């Protein structure tokens, strides 16, 4: 039987449905896909770069709940409303990661009034 533990923080947008912000199983942490809503105000920035930065700050907050950072990320999945925004997204994304970068899948997706959504998998320190 696989053990899984839900992780919850007030420093990230609250789930809008029947899902967890993150799940920890063993030494792996899996996050939900987060959009760019500021968890304190609910506001959403207009540019894909600012939305990307907000999503990554949210992911940092979730990881911090278990003593992890973006350097512990193994894989990210990125959804862009418009793949034409890739360069602007990529420049903002690069600000948050150092080498070796996590593997990444980036896809075009139909998103609900946002430009970017990101989830990740990280390995927790023992």
Domain that holds residue 12: 4-123
**Mean predicted lDDT score pLDDT of the chain:** 96
CATH of the domain at 85: 3.30.1330.40
pLDDT digits (tens, 9 = 90+) for 43-79: 999 999 999 999 999 999 999 999 999 999 999 999 9
Report whether 11 contacts 63 (CB < 8 A).
no
- How many domains does the chain divide into? 1
Task: Compute how many other C-beta atoms are within 10 angstroms of the C-beta atom of residue 81.
Answer: 18
Residues ≥6 apart with Cβ < 8 Å to 3 = 25, 26
CB burial class (10 A; 0-12, 13-18, 19+) of residue 106?
A: middle
Q: What pLDDT sits at residue 2?
A: 66
Q: How far apart are CA 80 and CA 74, in angstroms?
A: 20
| CA atoms within 13 Å, Cβ hemisphere of 61 | 19
pLDDT digits (tens, 9 = 90+) for 108-126: 999 999 999 999 999 998 7
| CA atoms within 13 Å, Cβ hemisphere of 118 | 31
């Amino acid at each position: 039987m696989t053990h899984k533990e839900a992780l919850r923080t007030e420093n990230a947008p609250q789930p809008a449905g029947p899902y967890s912000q993150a799940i920890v199983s063993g030494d792996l942490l899996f996050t939900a896909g987060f959009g760019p809503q500021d968890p304190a105000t609910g506001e959403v920035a207009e540019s894909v770069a600012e939305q990307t930065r907000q999503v990554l700050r949210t992911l940092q907050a979730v990881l911090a709940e278990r003593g992890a950072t973006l350097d512990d990320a193994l894989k990210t999945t990125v959804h862009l409303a418009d793949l034409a925004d890739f360069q602007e997204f990529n420049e903002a994304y690069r600000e948050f990661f150092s080498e070796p970068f996590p593997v990444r899948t980036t896809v075009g997706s139909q998103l609900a009034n946002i430009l970017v959504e990101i989830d990740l998998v990280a390995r927790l320190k023992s």
